[in-house]
Amino acid sequence: MERAILVGLDLKDRRRRPRSSLDGADYSAEESLQELVALAESAGAQVIGTTLQSRPRPEPDTLIGSGKVEEIAQWVQAEGADLVIFDHDLTPSQQRNLEERLGCKVVDRTQLILDIFARRARTREGQLQVELAQLNYLLPRLTGRGAEMSRLGGGIGTRGPGETQLETDRRRIRRRIRKLMEELEAVRAARAVQRRRRKEAPLPTAALVGYTNAGKSTLFNRLTGAHVLTDDRLFATLDPTVRPVVLPSHRRVLLSDTVGFIRKLPVTLVKAFRATLEEVTEAALILHVVDVSAPQAAAQMAQVEKVLADIGAGSTPRLLVLNKVDLLEQKDLDAQAWLTRLAGEAARSQTRAVAISALTGEGVDQLLSAMDEALSFDPLTTATFRFPAGDSSKAGLLYQLGRVISARFDGSEYEIEAEVPQSLKLRLANYLVESC
């Protein structure tokens, strides 16, 4: 386990700004540094200390100034630290200067998040997206690194495809980037075909989004009966998963569990994960999951809303899911007042809020009812259908997408009475006998 020192930068001009939970700026440098601690631990580091430097503006050569660099260098030597992690993006020259003066490996927030993604990606699509983001990050950092770029010792900042690409030249990296983009375009095309087939089914889609560690995967498992990995770590799950959910009206909806968002989400990751994020932009309903036990819940809500707007999902209907209400009893605050405040944040954008605990199941029935109301565009109707024996696949749609009331087979035909969405009834109009 690598021993890490974490460094934050507190810009004095920023501290004078009014804090607002609505613009995503409701967090201090200290709070951001604390989030970096959670990120570092998720990457497998042992955090041996943190330090915060206050400056009116970033220092061009080292970001934090030569005096602070000397102080950290002595700390690194005394504690035997393996790396220093900065809660700020570093330019290639700043990173080189810091490594020379500190005498150890230096990574920034973007590189740390990329490392976590490299550890967590399991599907081929996720691995392609992470590799593309890593190579785009690596490319401008090749100049001047020389033999130092051949480090293959592993550890934070060197995992994943970057290990095999560090010794390549710019031409080979650019060639690899082009290849990855072509493969991801193929992924996009495949996803587009899947979405068209879903619309033909028809099955409305809902996407779980939220700040990382908000409990999306726990809620996904609760609603679908799936067994997606859940863990109290940032970015515990990365690859999207889609499963059906049966609503109280007996309609089915496809629910997707997506990657969590975070402050300062690297632009390279947003671009690389375009194929995955399209699942969100194409959804008929977004379930915005919020960890109500987090002190910065309101700011995290605002950050997620900002990312949704950036990817073109700002106008998609949504429900605000106030998760982890079971933990509020353990907090030293007025739980009801806190929930009322968060619900008020949602009301400003005319979003309905539902308080739940994905862990205990509290409020989940109310959430399913709210989803049913929000997806009321395809009303249910009862109808009787008759299918030739050779069209059993058509009859299977009634079992898959509706609720079968009765079924009879006379040797040559299936006669089925079922409660089905109006769109499915129209699709099977040629087999319709009667409706009520």
Higher pLDDT, 256 or 161: 256
CATH number of 3-114: 3.40.50.11060
Strands 105-108 and 83-86 turn out to be: parallel
Q: Output the six-digit token pair for 230.
A: 């859940």
- Per-residue confidence (pLDDT) for residue 148, from 0 to 100: 43
Q: What is the pLDDT of residues 283-331, one digit of tens each?
A: 889 999 999 888 888 888 888 888 888 888 888 888 999 999 888 866 6
**Preceding peptide of 58 cis, ω within 30°:** no
Looking at every residue in the chain, the average pLDDT score rounds to: 80
Does the domain at 380-435 match CATH 3.30.70? Answer given as yes
| Percent of the chain clearing pLDDT 90 (strictly above) | 28
CATH architecture of the domain 201-374 equals 3-Layer(aba) Sandwich (3.40)
Q: Is the pLDDT of residue 418 over 60?
A: yes
- Per-residue confidence (pLDDT) for residue 19, from 0 to 100: 42
The confidence band for 90, taking pLDDT boundaries of 50, 70 and 90, is very high
Q: How far apart are CA 192 and CA 200, in angstroms?
A: 12
User: Which of 92-106, 150-164, 169-183 is most confident?
Assistant: 92-106
Which alpha helices (DSSP H) does 149-296 contain, by range? Answer: 162-165, 170-200, 216-224, 267-272, 274-281
Q: Output the six-digit token pair for 170.
A: 């710019």
Q: What is the mean pLDDT of residues 134-147?
A: 69
Q: Is the pLDDT of residue 152 over 50?
A: no
Q: Which residue, among 367, 379, 214, 220, has the nearest Cα to 304 in the 3D structure?
A: 214
- Per-residue confidence (pLDDT) for residue 22, from 0 to 100: 31
Same fold yes or no, 3-114 and 380-435: no
Q: Where are the domains of the chain?
A: 3-114, 121-183, 201-374, 380-435
How far lies 124's CA from each of 7, 91, 118, 127, in Å?
A: 34, 30, 12, 5
Angle between helices 124-138 and 109-120 (to 10 degrees): 160
The CA angle 371-372-378, to the nearest 5 degrees, is 125
Q: What is the pLDDT of residues 353-374, one digit of tens each?
A: 899 999 999 999 999 999 988 8
Q: How far apart are CA 404 and CA 382, in angstroms?
A: 9
The one-letter code for the residue type at 236 is A
Higher pLDDT, 401 or 59: 59
Q: Is the pLDDT of residue 86 over 60?
A: yes
Q: Is the pLDDT of residue 204 over 90?
A: no
3 state SS of 293 = coil
